[in-house]
Amino acid sequence: MYPRLLLNLCERSLYRASNCIRLDVKRLSNAANKDEKNLPEVNSTKFPDYKVIYIFPSIKQVCALNVVKNRFTVLSGVAAPVLIGLKYTNILSFETSISLLLAGILMVIWLHTLGIFCNRLIGYIYFKADEQKVILSYTDYWGKRIDLMVPVNEITPLSENPRSITDPLYRKVTISSQKKKLKINTKIGQITDINNFTYVLGMV
């Protein structure tokens, strides 16, 4: 009985969370489409000599999701043997222990599934024209910000990348000096400098 109730509760929570994410994405996408052509020039405070040419508005939420995923995974790993111990000492019933374990496992799976799409997602792109250098700021799998500085000529234009089934969600950014590819979402993200963005990443 308890496992079924818990599974139903988890399914409802996941459904509501998914709906909220879809609504936020839709709003951000509409806002980006309306304002993309009229965005003022954005200068970087973190890198004063660089111009911001791309911003992903929800990058802080993406980082927070990855951090929560990291902490919840650790918490679940610690909680599992504790729950088993409480069950064998008859402090918790078998049904309660199984229900809590299942809830933790389902939440970890859900967070890591979302984390696959958020891994190596670019939040900011900075460009310095006189030195032909680009800084790609992205979040890693655990929510840490990485600022990767590369020459422009190491970046493969987006138009030259092969088509992928993930293109509706994100485009892959290939860098010749890096083994792993980064991800960029041009539908939700805001291109603050179209000319320089096109120069760095090619046609979208």
pTM of the model: 0.69
Is residue 19 one of the residues assigned to a domain?
no
pLDDT, tens digit, 9 for 90 and up, residues 93-110: 878 888 888 888 888 888
Is residue 8 one of the residues assigned to a domain?
no
Please give the C-alpha separations between residue 46 and each of 24, 30, 168, in angstroms, as whole numbers.
27, 28, 31
State yes or no: pLDDT of 32 exceeds 90. Answer: no
Q: In the chain, pLDDT over 90 holds for what percent of residues?
A: 30
Is residue 3 one of the residues assigned to a domain?
no
Kindly state the average pLDDT of the residues 138-147. 89
Q: What is the overall mean pLDDT for the chain?
A: 78
Q: Which amino acid is at 172?
A: K
CA 142, 13, 6 angle in degrees (round to 5)? Answer: 105
Is residue 186 one of the residues assigned to a domain?
yes
Q: How far apart are CA 94 and CA 141, in angstroms?
A: 34
Q: Looking at the 3D structure of the chain, how many domains does it have?
A: 1
Lowest mean pLDDT among 4-13, 76-85, 103-112, 120-129: 4-13
Q: How far apart are CA 151 and CA 161, in angstroms?
A: 18
Confirm if 32 and 184 have CB atoms less than 8 A apart. Answer: no
Q: How far apart are CA 182 and CA 17, in angstroms?
A: 26
What is the domain range of residue 198? 41-203
Is residue 192 one of the residues assigned to a domain?
yes
Task: Provide the pLDDT for residue 186.
Answer: 87
Is residue 27 one of the residues assigned to a domain?
no
Name the DSSP class of 65: H
State yes or no: pLDDT of 33 exceeds 60. Answer: no
Q: 45 by DSSP, 3-state: which?
A: coil
Is residue 144 one of the residues assigned to a domain?
yes
Task: Provide the pLDDT for residue 123.
Answer: 94
Q: How far apart are CA 124 and CA 59, in angstroms?
A: 9
Is residue 34 one of the residues assigned to a domain?
no
**What one-character-per-residue DSSP string does 5-36 give?**
HHHHHHHHHHHHHHHHHHHHHHHHHHHHHHHG
Task: Provide the pLDDT for residue 164.
Answer: 85
Q: How far apart are CA 118 and CA 169, in angstroms?
A: 10
